[in-house]
Amino acid sequence: MDKILVTRKIPDKFVQQLQQLGEVQMWNEEFEPMPREQFLKEIEESTACFITLSEKIDEECLKHAEHLKIIANLAVGYDNIDVDSATKHDIDVTNTPNVLTETTAELGFTLMLTVARRIIEAEHYVQEGNWKSWGPYLLSGKDVHGSTVGIYGMGEIGKSFARRLQGFNTEILYHNRSRHEDAEQQLNAQYVSFDDLLERSDFVVCTAPLTSETADKFNATAFSKMKNDAIFINIGRGAIVDEEALIEALEHHQIGGCGLDVLREEPIRFDHPLLKMNNAVILPHIGSASVVTRDRMIQLCVDNIKAILQGEQPLTQVHN
């Protein structure tokens, strides 16, 4: 009988579907990852593996996974997986594209508006009893309408973000590995060099995946080129940003603020300097976290596992 390893607690309705396919071994915690040692042990016996971003899939774990046919990653980004190594071992890797696009772009947009209009500071101000009177510049922030927004990474999420800007009368710039003429025509987005994007944008929004090309792309040099009141938003991956450089840039007012849904180390340390900065809004990687979208992502993982175990093509296979 096929063994299906699920590394995080998922709702019964999905477990039941997997039970139709094989014996399910599920880690019963929703908010804590399966310890690595246990994972390495369980994967040895598994035919299919349903994982989250917390699991690192490398040669160390694949070399013992003799029966494994599929790794279904509960995310569109798959930088946690050594895809070349999986391919070498004849293991299919799948992800969850498309179903999360709109929800993730929506979170990015929320984050941009939140930082621009200082919503978290304003809420704390009220909660802490500081609101004594209306003031001409009380907690005044930055307009998104009429501004220039630079999108780094014009994949599906980048395009979805640009669609949301259409009602805001913004100039849209983008930088991407390759040009997207559809986005240029339909969304009136202008392709620019990375430096141009940094220099001209009031908001710089990173939606890119983590690759060898994007790692540490937002470093001290990049921040030094941005406008002094620019706001940096990251909904891609934490390792695209040099966080030390970002902290310096915020401290020295080289940029105006940031909103990060993704961090180099997740979860972030409670004493991390970014958590002490008023002009930084930090979220716990919730880009795709609406109930409907998470249901769709889990269903897609289940469907991919089902396809592979039934000898069919997976729906959303990852290729390097």
Catalytic residue among 8, 175, 180, 285: 285
Residue with Cβ nearer ligand DGY (104 or 254) = 104
Measured distance CA(78)–CA(320) in Å, rounded: 10
The residue from 76, 111, 249, 308 that contacts ligand DGY (CB under 6 A) is 76
Residues between 13 and 42 with contacts to ligand DGY, criterion CB under 6 A: none
The helix (run of H) or strand (run of E) holding residue 70 is strand 70-73
Residue with Cβ nearer ligand DGY (214 or 288) = 288
| 91 closest CA partner among 111, 67, 107, 74 | 67
- Catalytic residue check, 164: no
- Catalytic residue check, 145: no
Smallest distance from ligand DGY to CB 80, Å: 9
Measured distance CA(17)–CA(290) in Å, rounded: 22
Contact between 288 and ligand DGY by CB under 6 A: the answer reads yes
Catalytic residue among 118, 180, 200, 237: 237
Instruction: Report long-range pairs for 305-312 (Cβ below 8 Å, ≥24 apart).
Output: 305/4, 305/18, 305/21, 305/48, 305/50, 305/70, 305/72, 306/17, 306/21, 308/48, 308/69, 308/70, 308/92, 309/2, 309/21, 309/22, 309/47, 309/48, 309/69, 309/70, 310/21
Q: Which amino acid makes up residue 38? A: Q
- Catalytic residue check, 179: no
Catalytic residue among 266, 269, 272, 296: 266
Contact between 298 and ligand DGY by CB under 6 A: the answer reads no
Contact between 287 and ligand DGY by CB under 6 A: the answer reads yes
| 198 closest CA partner among 170, 217, 179 | 217
The residue from 21, 57, 71, 75 that contacts ligand DGY (CB under 6 A) is 75
Measured distance CA(78)–CA(232) in Å, rounded: 23
Smallest distance from ligand DGY to CB 250, Å: 23
Contact between 308 and ligand DGY by CB under 6 A: the answer reads no
Residue with Cβ nearer ligand DGY (225 or 264) = 264
Smallest distance from ligand DGY to CB 76, Å: 4
| 73 closest CA partner among 320, 311, 305, 240 | 305
The residue from 77, 256, 259, 314 that contacts ligand DGY (CB under 6 A) is 77
Contact between 208 and ligand DGY by CB under 6 A: the answer reads no
Residues designated as active site: 237, 266, 285
Write out the residues near ligand DGY by the rule CB under 6 A: 75-77, 100, 287-288
